[in-house]
Amino acid sequence: MGFSTSLQGQSSHEALLARQDAEIKLLETMRRCLTIKVKSDREYATTISSLTMQGKKIERNEDLVGSLVVQSWRDIMDSIDQTAKLIKQQADSIEAIVVEHITTLYSERRRARKIYQEEQTWLNNQFQQLTDDVARKKLEYQKNLEMYKLMRSRFEEHYVKSGRVGRKLDEVREKYQKACRKLHLTHNEYVLLLGAVTECEHDLRTCYLPSLLHRQQAIHQEFITSWKTILQDIVKYSDFTTDKFQEIHRRMQKAVDSVKPVEEYRDFIGKHRTRPASPMRFIFDENLVDDTSGKLLPNKLTVDNLTIDWLRNRLTELETSLKATQQNRQNPQYPSENNSDSKISILDYSREREELRLRCQEKRLQRQVDVIRAALNELGCEELPLGYDLSMESSFTDSPSISKKNTVADIGLFTLRRNQRFMTIFRSPFKSLPIINDTKDGTIRSSSEGPTSKADNTLPVAFRGISHLTTNQKGNGNGDLMEEEWFHGVLPREEVVRLLVTEGDFLVRETTRNDECQIVLSVCWDGHKHFIVQTTPEGHYRFEGPTFPSIQELIRHQWLSGLPVTSRSGAILKTPILRERWELNNDDGNFGDVYKAQLKTCKTEVAVKTCKVTLPDEQKRKFLQEGRILKQYDHPNIVKLIGICVQKQPIMIVMELVPGGSLLTYLRKNASTITQQEQLRMCKDASAGMRYLESKYCIHRDLAARNCLVGYESIVKISDFGMSREEEEYIVSDGMKQIPIKWTAPEALNFGKYTSLCDVWSYGILMWEIFSKGGNPYSGMSNSQAREKIDAGYRMPAPENTPDEIYRLMLRCWEYEPEKRPHFDQIFTVVETLSQAYL
């Protein structure tokens, strides 16, 4: 069973074409996904390399000299860095081998489909031509047959009327004979044609068609063989179990095995060895009894009529306390450790501390009891000696009621456990938080990078400074929320989802519901959950548990207690997500109008975009899109983002103030004075900015003179990123609303497919605007007319005085096939060279 015998029908032919289309689409999908994989693997490898560099920067390295753990850690970091390099090598191999192979296979697959379709069309035309020839000849046969019948009937009619002679009869006979001859000739031709077309049809059906299908099957199977090779290469270059990776893993394991707890502190002990601690000596200060006329003597217990009752009562108290202490030591009340973690039990000093406390208390009480008893026994009947010698220089461990052997054993046990404590390493639950810097004025600021700094107290870092909030708030529940780094103001839900990515991440924000402002706690827990802070009649705040006078204290309690926000949700707060460094406070600006403002901190004039409070959430999300993109870019030809104000309405995007206004307005106002050199420099600035965006995989989608700004010294800056997307390819799914038709590439208009090469097309229009000094592209044409003419091959002529090289570059930017257009790196090189040549 094969193509040649099973796929000869028209429906099979259509199914085969559909299968070829599906395979071509699959190749496109594979190429796109592998390209993304290459990008992701490279970014992953770069990130790993960066973190290994950070991991090798060990703070207070001089205090860790000789540490086996440090050496093991460095070896592990080196191994991880080697892993990153291998991952990058595999990504390079996928791009150079697999993606290239898929691209070649894709082109060959499309070409084979085209050839098959052409051959199948030709074959169908041949069958149709045979059918048409037979049909024409049959129609001719039918006409001649009708003529023959007509002439015969006329001949017979005249023959009967006029007999066998007569001129009229001869004429009818001649016509009858002519019709008869023509019918016989047509008959013979029809017979011959049927024989011929039968042979042709037989050859086409039994020879050519099976041969065509057989060749197609061979081509398809060859494609599948190549395809299988591609899949094998994907598996090969995605394998993390190869010998190289295993060797790295073995080196890492060897580094770990080199850590020996017994030897870890050997060098440290040798370097910092000190003598055993000297005992503390408690000596009676003899200066105290100088003025007692010898009635009170150093180290002598005074027993007289003034103290005898007190001593007896004191003895009774001491004996009672001593008995209770001895009972507590014999029957200690400790929690069961049957199911406890051994590490936790080692770190738990409560038992040792309690044992030491009871032992010290027992010795202290026993010593005092012995001293008082000895004094009273020596007193005898009623004599009142001046005092009893009590030497305080001996150690309290020498108490007769406790043997030295037991004491040494107990102390030895305590010392052993204490040493074991310091050999235990445990992880800090807050090491994933960003650094918190407490400023002099008590406010809390977060650093945008770097690991968590060591906390100088036990209070978790994100809540330092909260303990004194209640004294400063004066009963205001959320007035000080602006000072909390985990409060994000009027942040939309989409931004919340972007920020909260790990189970237990949380932040606090503000929302408006039914024209009422509400404070919301958002938590990443089994998805994303949002809890409205409830207000009690007394003006306190709560969720389900206790109430608090401020929202700060409520959030602090909810986090530190580890209790669920609500019993139904089970959501537990683990890690506060602090405001990003580009989120500004709305009060940081003295806003004069909608478009211009001044920062309080540095008196800098800035440009401000505001978002109307009444806009729907979808519009607010699009408004914040520009800020999300701009916040990570830094280039002289890209307008700079200063910050975003989201703590209260209205939301604002704050950018650098570019004084020259839009490039389009600038071109039109200065059309009479702009020189060709200035036009070339404008093109160069725009290409430099777009080259930077292309390197960041950012598609602008709305590049035009109206969206470029002119700064100081006439520098051009790319602006208005409201339609931009940070991806290599973007497919529009919401129609073509608000699309600038005359600036948009054909593939984006026809298929909604955007890449950086679409921006190249728009850049060509921008160059045309610059050299036309603010002219209207496709002047006199509607959007639909311009679109139709572009698809038909029309391209705008060069504006007056445009250099030939620039117009050739425009035409290259306007190539219909995207892959034929230059990238911005090439465009920048061309424009820069021309700019220097026209100096």
Catalytic residues: 702
Q: Give CA–CA dist 442/469, Å, rounded.
A: 10
Please give the helix or strand (H or E) that residue 598 lies within, else none.
strand 596-599
Nearby residues of 618 by Cβ (< 8 Å), 6 or more positions away: none
Do residues 436 and 453 touch, judged by C-beta distance below 8 A?
Answer: yes
Tell me: is residue 620 an annotated ligand-binding position: no
Which is nearest to 50 in space by CA: 449, 437, 579, 434? Answer: 449
Helices and strands, number each (H, E), in the chain:
24, 20
Q: Give CA–CA dist 522/529, Å, rounded.
A: 6
Do residues 612 and 469 touch, judged by C-beta distance below 8 A?
Answer: no
Nearby residues of 300 by Cβ (< 8 Å), 6 or more positions away: 386, 387, 388, 389, 390
| Residue whose pair of structure tokens reads 């010898």 in the numeric block | 294
3-state class (DSSP) for residue 714: helix
Q: Give CA–CA dist 313/309, Å, rounded.
A: 6
Do residues 834 and 806 touch, judged by C-beta distance below 8 A?
Answer: yes
- The secondary structure of 314-337 as a DSSP string is HHHHHHHHHHHHHHHHHS------
Burial class of residue 361, CB neighbours in 10 A (0-12, 13-18, 19+): middle
Residue type at 295 in one-letter notation: K
| Residue whose pair of structure tokens reads 């100096």 in the numeric block | 839
Rg from Cα positions in the chain: 47
Do residues 282 and 340 touch, judged by C-beta distance below 8 A?
Answer: no
Q: How do strand 583-584 and strand 641-645 relate by DSSP bridges?
A: parallel
Do residues 584 and 644 touch, judged by C-beta distance below 8 A?
Answer: yes
Phi, psi of 106 (to 5 degrees): -60, -45
Please give the helix or strand (H or E) that residue 596 lies within, else none.
strand 596-599
Q: Give CA–CA dist 547/584, Å, rounded.
A: 31
Nearby residues of 84 by Cβ (< 8 Å), 6 or more positions away: 44, 45, 46, 48, 49, 52
Which is nearest to 717 in space by CA: 775, 653, 631, 659? Answer: 659
Count CB-CB contacts under 10 A for residue 334. Answer: 10
Q: How many Cα atoms are found within 13 Å in the side-chain-facing hemisphere of 13?
A: 15
Q: Give CA–CA dist 702/356, Å, rounded.
A: 76
Phi, psi of 246 (to 5 degrees): -65, -35
Count CB-CB contacts under 10 A for residue 603. Answer: 8
Report the DSSP beta bridge partners of residue 654.
608, 643
Known binding residues for ATP are: 609
Known binding residues are: 609
